[in-house]
Amino acid sequence: MPDLISYLQFVLAPQMLNGLALGVSVILVALGLTIIFGLLDVINMSHGEFYAVGAFGALALSALGFNYWVLIALVPILMIPIGVLTERFLIRRVYDGGDRHVSTLLLTFGLGMIAEDLLKIVFGPNTHRPENPLPGATEVLGVFIPTYRLFLIAIGAVVIVAVALVVYRTRLGAMVRAAAFDRNMAASLGVRVGWVYSGAFAFGVALAGLAGVLLAPIYSVFPTMGHDFILMAFTVVIVGGMGSIWGVVIAGVLLTQVQAISSLVISPVWADPIVFGVMVLVLMFRPQGIFGRIGHA
Amino acid sequence: MRLNLLTTTTIAMLLASSAYAQETIKIGVLTPLSGTYAGIGQQVRWGIDQSVEEINAAGGIAGRQIELIYEDSEANPAVAVTKAEKLFTVDNVDFLTGTVNSGATLAVGQVADRADKLIATTVSFSDAITGSGCSPNVFRVNARAGQQSVALAAWLKQEKPGAKVYYLGPDYEMGRSTVAAFKERAESVGATSTGEVFAPLDSKDYSQYFGQLRAARPDVLYTSVAGNDTVRLFTQMNDFGVSEGLTILGASGTVTAQNINAIGAAAEGFITGVGYSVLIDSPENKAFTEAFRERNGADPDLYGADSYGLLFAYKAAVEAAGATDTDSVRAALEGLSWETPQGTKTIRAGDHQAMQPMYVVEVKNGQFTIARSIAGEDAIGPDTCDKF
Amino acid sequence: MHDRLDISMRANHVFFGILVIVALVFAAFACFSGDVFYLRLATEALILGGLALSIDILLGFTGLLSLGQALYFGIGAYVSALVLREEPSFWLAMGAAGVSVLLAGIAGGLIANRVRGVYFALITFGMAQVVAKVVYNSRELGASDGLIGIPVIEIPLGLITLSADDPLGFFLLTLVIIALLYSMSAYLLGTPFGRIIIALKANEKRVPYLGYSTWAARMAAYVLAAVIAGLAGALYPMLRGFVSPELLFFATSGDALIMVIVGGAGTLAGAIWGAVILTMLKSVIGSWTEHHLIVIGLIFMSAILFMPKGIVGMLKPFVERNLLRNSARQPKPEPERTAL
C-alpha cells in the first residue's frame, strides 16, 4: 500500500502534472490551427514555422534588450501584420477554385519549406535558448514542479479563456463566426469579410507565435523546431473537432495525458503510435471530432 | 604588325595556360548543409576549408593545388549516395569526405567500393564503420564510440568506483549502441547499472522520465543524446532539480560547440570522453584554434578539429606514394602517422581506424577543460575488421 | 467512345509518348559518351516517377490527397532488399514486393478509406510516420542505418540477361516497367470501373445515387496506387544497392507530391514528367547553392499560385483540340444517342 501511494505521488502525479504543462503548450499551438481551419477552411501546414518565428523573434528582440515579460505581448503583436500579409497575398489567391483544403495545404507546405530555410540562413543552424525568467521549483501537493511550468499552465489557461470569450461573446467574434458560416450573407449584412479573414488568420498565427515565445525557455530554439508540434497539433485539432475551441482544450489535455501515461506504463516509443491510434479511432467512428465546428451546430 | 600581335597573344596564352597545366587534386566534401545536422556540417566545412587554405598556401600536395567540391548530403543516405556517385563519376574527385551520419557513411562507402575510390569520415562514430561493416576503401580519422567509452570508463573507475549508473539515450541505433557499449565497459570496471530508458529522438519533454530516474537513485547518469535533445534534457533536469548530486556523463557528441551556449549553466560539470578539446595545450592546437576563431568567429569542436586534420594525412599519403590512384594512396594511408591539433594520430592498417590520444573532458564555466588523457593504444580497442 | 475523358486520356498518352522518345534519345547520347551517373540519375527519376504516378492516381483521379504514399514505396523497397540479400532473383523480389504491398495497401485502405479530404491526408501521413518509426527502430531491418550490401543482380528476361549494374540496360528496363505501370493505370482508369473512380473526384456524394459503391471504388484506387508505388520502390535497391528508413519519411512523399503538382495532377504523364524535371532541378540547384529548400519551395508555391494545372496540364488543351479535330473529321460509326 505505501508503495502504491509512493508510486502515485512520486511517479504518476508528476507525470500527469507535466503532461498538463505539455498539454497547455500543445493547446496554444493547436488553438491557432483550429481557428484558421474553423473560420477559414484553410489547412495551415506552415503553422509550425510561425511557431518557430515567434520563438526566434523573442530571441532576436531579447538580444536587443527587451525584457521577457514585454516579449510575451510584443511578439504576437508583431506577428499580426505578418499573418495579414500572408493571408492577403498568398492564401487568398488559392481560396476559390477547386479544393481549398488541398490547395491551401500544398501552398502552406511550400511556404513552410521556405520559412525553415530562411530561419537557418538568418540565425544559423545551431540551437539557442533564452534564459528561463522564472527559475526554481515550487511544491504543489507534494510534487515538485518548476515554477516556470506552473506559470505556463496559468497563462495558458488565461489565454484560452480570453480567446473563447472573444470568439463566443464579443461582437467581433460573432462577425467572424458569421463570415465563416456564410460568407455572402455576412457580407450583405455589412461584415467586412476581407478584413475578417485576414484578421482571423493573423490571430491564429499570433497565437502560434505566442506559444513559441512561451515555450522557448524550456524547449529551446532551432530552425527545424516547427516540426516538433505540428503532428500533435493537427491530431488535437482533429480529435477535438476542427474549429472548436473547447474541443481543442479537451482533446489537448486528453491526448497529452494519454501520451504521458502510456509513455510511463507501456514504453516511450509507443506513446506516439498510441496517440495516432486514438486519432484514427476518432476519425473512424466520429469524424467530426468531439465538438464539431464553429459556426456549425 | 598584326602577326606579331597574334604571336604575342598566343605566347601569352600558352604561358598562362601552363600555369594551370598542373592539374588540381579534386576532393569531394559530401556533408549535411541543411537539415538537423547542418550545425555539424558547418563545423566540418570550416575545418576542411581552413586546412585546404593552409595546404594550398604552402604549395599544395606535391605541387598540385587542392580543389574542393561541396555537395549537400541532407543527412539522407539516399541523397548522399546519388551525390557521391556524381562526385566520383562526373566531377572525378580523387577523394571524398564529410559524411556525418553512420548510415550515409556506410552507404557512400559502398559506392566508393564500386567506383574504386577512397573515402574518409571525420564525424561518424558508429563502431561498425571500422568494425563489422568495414571496407578497404573507407577510413576514419575521428575517434569511434569504443574509444570514447574506454576513456570515460577509465575515469569512472578512478573517480567513482562502484558507482550506480542510470542510462538515458535516444531511441535509435546510434543512441542504443553507444549506451550499450559504455554500459559494458562501466560494468567491467565495477559500476552497477540501475536501469535505462530510451526516449524517442526529438523528444520535447524529458520530464516524463524523471520519475523513473529518481526512483533508481543513481550516482551517475550516462546519456547519449545530442544536439537539441541535450539542450532540452539538461535544462529540464536542471529545472526539476534532478541534476542535484548527480554526476552526468555522456557521449562525445552530447555537448559540443553547437549546443553548449544554449545549455548554459546546466552543462556545468558534464564529463565526457572525447578526442578533442579547445584547451589541449599544444602549439599545433593553439595555432589551429586561433586561426579558426579568427576565420569563423566561433570555437572549433571535435568535428571541426578532426575535419581539419584529415587532409594533412591525405597530403602525407599522396606525397609518400607519389601518386593519387586508389591502391597507392590506400597503401600509404595504412599505418600512416601524422601531427594534428590533438597530437599524433596513426591509422591502424588492420581496420583503417585512427588511433589517437583520448581525453576526459569536463565542462567548467562553459569551457571544455581536460581532466585526464589516455594514450592512443590503450583507448583504441581490438581490431574486429575481417574483410581485408 | 470518344467522349471528353477519352480524349483527355489520349492526350496524356501523347505526352507520355514524348517522354519515352526523349528518354530514348537521352539514352542514346549517354551510351555514346560512356556516361554512368546521368543514366543512373535518370533511372532514379523514373523510379520516383512511379511513386508520383501512384500519388496522381489518388489525387488527380480519385480526388484523395495522400501524404504518406512513401509508405508503400518504402515497403516495396525493403521487401525487395530483404529478398535480394537472400536470393538475388529479380522476379522473386518484384513478386514479393508486389504481394506485400498489395496486403499493406488493403490494410492501409481499410483504415484510411473511412474518411475523406484533409482527414484522409492526415491519416495517410500518420500511417507513414508510424511505420517509418517502427522501421527506424528495428534492428532486423538495419535500424537507422538501413540495409547495405544488396548485391548486383542478373536479370533474366527470356532472350537477354541484364545486369543491374549496367546503367544503360537498367535504365531501359526501368523505362519499360514504368511504361507498363502507366499503361496499366491508364487502361484501368478507362474501363467503366475506372470511370466510377473518376466520378468520385467529380462528386462523391452523388455516386451511390447512381447505384455504385464508393467504398469499393476507393479501395480499388487505393490498392492500385499502393501496388504501383511498391513496385517502383522495389527497383530502388537494385539501382542503389541499399535501403534506408528515409525512403518512408515525409520528405520522400513530399517530394513526389511536388513532382505531381509541377508536372500536372490528373494527367498521369505529368507525374513522370514532374519527376524528371524535379530530379534535374535538384541536381543543378544542389551544385549552385545549399539553399535548395528555398528554391524548390518557391517553384512549388509558384506552381500552385500561377500554374495549378502543372506543366502538362497547361499544354494539354492544345493537344486535346488537335485530337478533337481529328476525331471530328472521321465519319462516326453510329448516330449519337443523347443520354438523359
Q: Please write the tens of the pLDDT for every residue from A226-278.
A: 887 888 888 898 888 887 888 899 999 999 888 888 887 887 778 888 888 88
The answer to whether the beta carbons of residues C118 and A101 sit under 8 Å apart is yes
Looking at C131-140, C184-193, C326-335, which range is the least confident one?
Answer: C326-335
Q: Does C256 touch chain B (CB under 8 A)?
A: no
What one-character DSSP code corresponds to residue B93?
-
Q: Does B239 touch chain A (CB under 8 A)?
A: yes
Tell me which chain B residues have a C-beta less than 8 angstroms from the C-beta of A224.
Answer: 35-36
Q: How far apart are CA A154 and CA A21, in angstroms?
A: 9
More confident of the two residues C333 and C279: C279
| Cell numbers representing residue A289 in the block | 471530432
Average pLDDT, integer, range B304-317? 94
- Per-residue confidence (pLDDT) for residue A218, from 0 to 100: 87
Does the pLDDT value for residue B190 go beyond 60? yes
Query: How buried is residue C140: exposed, middle or buried, by Cβ count under 10 Å (0-12/13-18/19+)?
Result: exposed
% residues pLDDT > 90 (chain A): 25
Interior angle at CA A284, CA A278 and CA A286, nearest 5: 90
Q: Does B100 touch chain A (CB under 8 A)?
A: no
pLDDT tens digits along B236-265: 998 888 888 899 999 988 998 888 988 988
The answer to whether the beta carbons of residues B160 and B247 sit under 8 Å apart is yes
Does the pLDDT value for residue A212 go beyond 50? yes
- Per-residue confidence (pLDDT) for residue C171, from 0 to 100: 93
Tell me which chain C residues have a C-beta less than 8 angstroms from the C-beta of B71.
Answer: 286-287
Which chains have 3 or more CB–CB distances shorter than 8 Å to chain A? B, C
**B358 membership: H or E segment, kind and range:** strand B358-364
Task: Name the band, by pLDDT with cuts 50, 70 and 90, for residue C335.
Answer: low
How far, in Å, are A194, B72, C6, C24, C327 from residue C17 at the CA level? 46, 34, 16, 11, 19
> Are C37 and B103 an interchain contact pair (Cβ–Cβ within 8 Å)?
no
Cell 592498417 sits at which residue?
B349
% residues pLDDT > 70 (chain A): 97
pLDDT tens digits along C77-103: 999 999 999 988 899 999 999 999 999
% residues pLDDT > 90 (chain C): 51
Average pLDDT, integer, range C174-186? 95
> Are C290 and B72 an interchain contact pair (Cβ–Cβ within 8 Å)?
yes
The answer to whether the beta carbons of residues A11 and A190 sit under 8 Å apart is no
Interior angle at CA A208, CA A206 and CA A211, nearest 5: 110
pLDDT tens digits along C28-82: 998 898 888 999 999 999 999 999 999 999 999 988 999 999 999 999 999 999 9
% residues pLDDT > 70 (chain B): 94
> Are B85 and C291 an interchain contact pair (Cβ–Cβ within 8 Å)?
no
- Per-residue confidence (pLDDT) for residue A101, from 0 to 100: 79
Beta-bridge partners for B221 = B166, B248
Tell me which chain A residues have a C-beta less than 8 angstroms from the C-beta of C285.
Answer: none
Q: How far apart are CA C121 and CA A223, in angstroms?
A: 25
More confident of the two residues A143 and C291: C291
Average pLDDT, integer, range C265-285? 92
Q: Which of B34, B111, B133 sits opposite C293 (nearest CB)?
A: B34
Average pLDDT, integer, range B340-365? 92
Q: Which residues of C210-241 are buried (b: 16+ CB within 10 A; e: fewer)?
A: eebebeebbbbbbbbbbbbbbbbbbbbbbbbb
Strand ranges, E, within chain C: 147-148, 154-157, 160-163, 242-243
The answer to whether the beta carbons of residues B145 and B179 sit under 8 Å apart is no
B16: Cβ contacts below 8 Å, ≥ 6 apart: none
DSSP state string for B157-183: HHHSTT-EEEEEEESSHHHHHHHHHHH
Q: How far apart are CA C255 and CA C272, in angstroms?
A: 13
Residue of C nearest to A108 (CA): C301
How far is it between the farthest Cα atoms of chain C?
Answer: 66
pLDDT tens digits along A142-179: 777 888 888 988 999 999 999 888 888 888 788 877 87
- Per-residue confidence (pLDDT) for residue B46, from 0 to 100: 96
- Per-residue confidence (pLDDT) for residue B288, from 0 to 100: 95
**C172 membership: H or E segment, kind and range:** helix C167-190
The answer to whether the beta carbons of residues B329 and B317 sit under 8 Å apart is yes
- Per-residue confidence (pLDDT) for residue A144, from 0 to 100: 78
Looking at A143-147, B1-5, B142-146, C118-122, which range is the least confident one?
Answer: B1-5
Average pLDDT, integer, range C17-24? 94
Average pLDDT, integer, range B218-239? 92
> Which among B171, B207, B263 is the top mutation candidate for probing chain A, defined by the most A β-carbons within 10 Å of its own β-carbon?
B207
pLDDT tens digits along A76-103: 999 999 999 999 998 888 877 667 778 8
- Per-residue confidence (pLDDT) for residue A210, from 0 to 100: 93
Nearest Cα residue to B254 out of B183, B188, B174, B153: B174
Cell 539501382 sits at which residue?
C239
What one-character DSSP code corresponds to residue A145?
E
| Cell numbers representing residue C62 in the block | 480519385
Distance of CA A11 to the CA centre of its chain: 28
Does the pLDDT value for residue A295 go beyond 50? no
Q: How far apart are CA A108 and CA B84, in angstroms?
A: 32
C289: Cβ contacts below 8 Å, ≥ 6 apart: C295
Tell me which chain C residues have a C-beta less than 8 angstroms from the C-beta of B126.
Answer: 145
Average pLDDT, integer, range B24-35? 91
Give long-range contacts, CB 8 A cutoff, 24+ apart: C323-326.
C323/C7, C323/C10, C323/C11, C323/C14, C324/C7
- Per-residue confidence (pLDDT) for residue A297, from 0 to 100: 31
> Are A15 and B240 an interchain contact pair (Cβ–Cβ within 8 Å)?
no
Q: Which of B42, B202, B239 sits opposite A148 (nearest CB)?
A: B239
Q: How far apart are CA A136 and CA A141, in angstroms?
A: 17
Task: Name the band, by pLDDT with cuts 50, 70 and 90, for residue B346.
Answer: very high
Nearest Cα residue to B194 out of B217, B177, B176, B171: B217
Distance (Å) from the alpha carbon of C155 to chain A's nearest alpha carbon: 39
- Per-residue confidence (pLDDT) for residue C1, from 0 to 100: 52
Q: How far apart are CA C296 and CA C298, in angstroms?
A: 5
Nearest Cα residue to C256 out of C117, C118, C72: C72
Q: How far apart are CA B299 and CA B276, in angstroms?
A: 12
Q: How far apart are CA B65 and CA B82, in angstroms?
A: 26
The answer to whether the beta carbons of residues C233 and C48 sit under 8 Å apart is no
> Are A269 and B262 an interchain contact pair (Cβ–Cβ within 8 Å)?
no
Q: Does B204 touch chain A (CB under 8 A)?
A: yes
**Helices A245-265 and A268-285 meet at what angle, rounded to 10?**
140
Tell me which chain A residues have a C-beta less than 8 angstroms from the C-beta of C254.
Answer: 109
Average pLDDT, integer, range C129-155? 85
| Cell numbers representing residue C11 in the block | 492526350
**B220 membership: H or E segment, kind and range:** strand B220-223
- Side-chain-facing half-sphere of C35: CA atoms under 13 Å: 19
Say whether C115 sits in a helix, a strand or coil: coil
More confident of the two residues C222 and A167: C222
Does the pLDDT value for residue B19 go beyond 50? no
Average pLDDT, integer, range C284-289? 82
- Per-residue confidence (pLDDT) for residue A182, from 0 to 100: 77
Beta-bridge partners for B119 = B96, B138
Tell me which chain A residues have a C-beta less than 8 angstroms from the C-beta of C113.
Answer: none
Looking at B41-45, B117-121, B155-159, which range is the least confident one?
Answer: B155-159
Q: How far apart are CA C11 and CA C315, in angstroms?
A: 10
Number of H helices, E strands in chain B: 13, 15
> Are B107 and C137 an interchain contact pair (Cβ–Cβ within 8 Å)?
no
Task: Name the band, by pLDDT with cuts 50, 70 and 90, for residue A296.
Answer: very low
Task: For strands B343-347 and C147-148, give the pairing.
Answer: unpaired
| Cell numbers representing residue A42 in the block | 484553410
**Alpha helix (H) residue ranges in A64-182:** 68-89, 100-123, 147-169, 171-181
Q: How far apart are CA B317 and CA C215, in angstroms?
A: 67
Nearest Cα residue to C160 out of C147, C178, C172, C144: C172
> Are A220 and B232 an interchain contact pair (Cβ–Cβ within 8 Å)?
yes
- Per-residue confidence (pLDDT) for residue C322, from 0 to 100: 87
| Cell numbers representing residue C249 in the block | 519519411
Number of neighbours of residue C332 by Cβ within 10 angstroms: 9
B147: Cβ contacts below 8 Å, ≥ 6 apart: B273, B275, B356, B358, B379, B380, B381
- Per-residue confidence (pLDDT) for residue C334, from 0 to 100: 60
Q: How far apart are CA C99 and CA C340, in angstroms?
A: 43
Q: Does C292 touch chain B (CB under 8 A)?
A: yes
Torsion sign, CA atoms B214, B217, B220, B222: negative
Average pLDDT, integer, range C303-318? 90
Question: In which region does residue B98 sit, left (phi positive, over 0), alpha (psi from -120 to 50) or beta (all else)?
Answer: left
Q: Which of B34, B72, B81 sits opposite C240 (nearest CB)?
A: B81
The answer to whether the beta carbons of residues C237 and C132 sit under 8 Å apart is no
What one-character DSSP code corresponds to residue C159?
T
Q: Which residues of B326-342 are buried (b: 16+ CB within 10 A; e: fewer)?
A: beebbebbbebebebbb
> Are A90 and C301 an interchain contact pair (Cβ–Cβ within 8 Å)?
yes
Beta-bridge partners for A221 = A128
> Are C304 and A106 an interchain contact pair (Cβ–Cβ within 8 Å)?
yes
- Per-residue confidence (pLDDT) for residue A175, from 0 to 100: 80
Cell 581506424 sits at which residue?
B353
Tell me which chain B residues have a C-beta less than 8 angstroms from the C-beta of A142.
Answer: none
Q: How far apart are CA A88 and CA A85, in angstroms?
A: 5
Q: Which amino acid is at C173?
A: L
Q: How far apart are CA B98 and CA B107, in angstroms?
A: 13
Task: For strands B220-223 and B247-250, give the pairing.
Answer: parallel
Tell me which chain C residues have a C-beta less than 8 angstroms from the C-beta of B174.
Answer: 144
> Are B36 and A224 an interchain contact pair (Cβ–Cβ within 8 Å)?
yes
